[in-house]
Structure 1
Amino acid sequence: MKLRSAILIILLVIVADQALKIWIKTSFPFGHITNVLGLSWFRLYFIENEGMAWGWKFGGDFGKIFLTLFRLVAVGFGSWYLVKIVRERYTRGFIICASLIYAGALGNLIDSLFYGMIFGQSTYTQVAEAFPAGGGYAGFLHGHVVDMLYFPMVHSNFPNWLPLIGGKEFEFFSPIFNIADASISLGVIVLLLFQKRFFQREDEEEQEEVSGQETHSVGDNAPAV
């Protein structure tokens, strides 16, 4: 697989991710929920994530800067690693998964780096403006990641006989995420499922195919007994 194919995958994810985030940010107030195509189990729910996955935060302002810098270093390492695995001819599947993970990390990094300077503050009653006259809601490295994809497929209660959680509400699938998060998750899940096959190089696969063809050829040419 060539590097330009990996770059194309990354660009497609980034464009889709950023286009949806910008539309959500400039079209809806914070906390707005709308059903997609009238489906109650597929909704757009606009929230902003100041920290890590699942909304975890640590260390206040310092923690936010540290997290953004960590993402920046991770994306820098990912750039080097992606070029490395393409040059060393790793399998197409492995490179595609690495590209998806890289694209997702870069998509969320863009929010953290620039959204605070580009957009005004989103509130429950006010839609954010792009490039407001008074400046954005935060400085460089302090942007919030925009999340919106919400799939509450099942909403019920745990059976009363269960200890501790009996009778409490239960919802599947409750996380709210974005296209970048989905790209990372897809890349990681496929890697875990097919890691044995993916952690090879294309030249190894080619040798296996050639060996199989030679064996088949010898069998076809063997004299009948």
Structure 2
Amino acid sequence: MMYYFVTVLVLLIDQFTKYLVVANMQIGDSVTVIPGFLYLTSYRNTGAAWSILEGKMWLFYVITVIVVMIIIYIMQKYAKGHPLFSTSLALVLGGAIGNFIDRLLHQEVVDFISTVFGHYYFPIFNIADTALSIGVVLLLIYIFISDSKAKGTGK
């Protein structure tokens, strides 16, 4: 049950930061946080990562509902007692729902975190995207650790 708190926390932070961006910045406005590296840039995305599948909201609705149901099922059935597994799923769940709320209410996702690495401008993202990414990395770590333990014990 504690892991749903992580999901709700991600949702609250995600939606609050998006609200602040929409309320205080025009699309295209940018504020320097760390010169040459980190900026807050108001942007809207009607697609998924890197703007793929732009305008295909119906597809995002269907996929998100299915993914959310699967994650909740897995959390209830298999993740209990596995803190890393549960946390990874809670982060993915919070991120998925955060962007789903945007798509459902506004038919676009508010993105605002802009990073630059030398001459490479990484696609602008948000807190939900960050939670999703961290959740997937933690899930991969969990799978790697579980697989290593299973091989080490002869299972």
Residue 104 (structure 1) aligns with: 95
Residue 129 (structure 2) aligns with: 181
Detail structure 1 runs of 4+ shifted over 4 Å in the superposition: none
Alignment partners' CA distance in 1, 2:57 and 2:53: 8
* Larger RCO, structures 1/2 (Cα 8 Å, 6+ apart): 2
Secondary structure of 1:29's partner? coil
TM-score for the superposition, normalised by structure 2 = 0.85
Alignment partners' CA distance in 2, 1:12 and 1:198: 27
Residue 32 (structure 1) aligns with: 29
- Tell which deviates more after alignment, 64-73 or 92-101: 64-73
CA contact (8 A) 1:94 1:199 kept: no
Q: Which structure's residues are more often helix, by fraction?
A: 2
Pairwise CA distance, 1:198: 4.3
Pairwise CA distance, 1:86: 3.9
- State the percentage of identical aligned residues: 27
Once the two structures are superposed, what CA deviation does each residue of 1:35-71 show, in whole Å capped at 9, x if it has no partner?
Answer: 12x533110111111012110125x5xx322222221
- For the pair 1:45 / 2:41, whether they are aligned, the reply is yes
Aligned residues: 150
Amino acid at match of 1:73: I
Amino acid at match of 1:113: L
Residue 56 (structure 1) aligns with: 52
CA contact (8 A) 2:39 2:115 kept: yes
The RMSD of aligned alpha carbons is: 2.2
Alignment partners' CA distance in 2, 1:174 and 1:86: 33
Amino acid at match of 2:89: A
Unaligned runs of 5+ in 1: 117-142, 156-170, 209-225
